[in-house]
Amino acid sequence: MKRMMKQQQMPPRKTRRLSRAEVLKVIAGLGNPGQQYSKTRHNAGFWFLEGLAAQAGVTWVFESRFEGRVAALSIAGGRVFLLQPQTYMNHSGRALGKLVRYYKVYPEEILVVHDELDFGPGLIKLKKAGGHAGHNGLRDIIAHLGSRDFYRMRVGIGRPEGMKKVSDYVLSEPSAQDKQAILTGFEDYFACLEQLVSGDIEQVMNRLHSK
């Protein structure tokens, strides 16, 4: 007679506590790979991470398993992964999804840096959750994460004048003045990076959004 094996019960799944300070573990900058796109407005997220990595003195490595360039930054007593997806903008979520699943990162521990048409060049604001507002990079990230609860850093690039198509505008270079305004705007967030990473995001928002 075969001995019946006692079925082992799975432990109950832990509930995520959203009330505590949310520490950032991944900062993803959005853009398109390749030299032909490197200076275009749509790569504002890449610009932020490139400036941050240069200031911190960290090295980028292409990780094929994540389909992106990755750098690790030690700050606030922990480690933060910087990610530049190399999948092109419309498939940004594929790269980010692979990295956060591997390291078991929650959506609210992610900051996505992207270009924002609704703000003028140099105006940068943080936001938690929300929709994609037609931004294809955000659209794909929401689809792959199955959540909208990640933080966003919205980097103002302004809107095109006249009848110029948005697609042509975001894939063209800004004026030298507009580019400098954006890079100058980054400096405030570089200075507050430790606060951002350690969970004081609301304080940073209150401080920088009132400027």
Residue 128 domain-assigned (yes or no):
yes
Residue 203 domain-assigned (yes or no):
yes
Residue 60 domain-assigned (yes or no):
yes
In sequence order, the 6+-apart residues with CB closer than 8 A to the CB of 110 are 24, 25, 26, 27, 28, 96, 100, 145, 150, 151
Residue 113 domain-assigned (yes or no):
yes
Please tell me the total count of domains within the chain: 1
User: pLDDT for 68-114, tens place per residue?
Assistant: 999 999 998 889 999 999 999 999 999 999 999 999 999 999 999 99
Domain of 31: which CATH number? 3.40.50.1470
Residue 18 domain-assigned (yes or no):
no
| pTM, 2 dp | 0.88
Residue 175 domain-assigned (yes or no):
yes
Residue 133 domain-assigned (yes or no):
yes
Residue 15 domain-assigned (yes or no):
no
Beta-strand ranges (E) seen in 49-197 are 61-63, 68-75, 78-85, 110-116, 124-128, 151-156
Mean pLDDT, to the nearest integer, of 28-45?
Answer: 97
Range of the domain at 140: 26-209
Q: Which residues are catalytic?
A: 42
User: pLDDT for 106-152, tens place per residue?
Assistant: 999 999 999 999 999 999 999 999 989 889 999 999 999 999 999 99
Q: How far is CA 25 from CA 38, 66, 132, 157, in A?
A: 25, 16, 22, 26
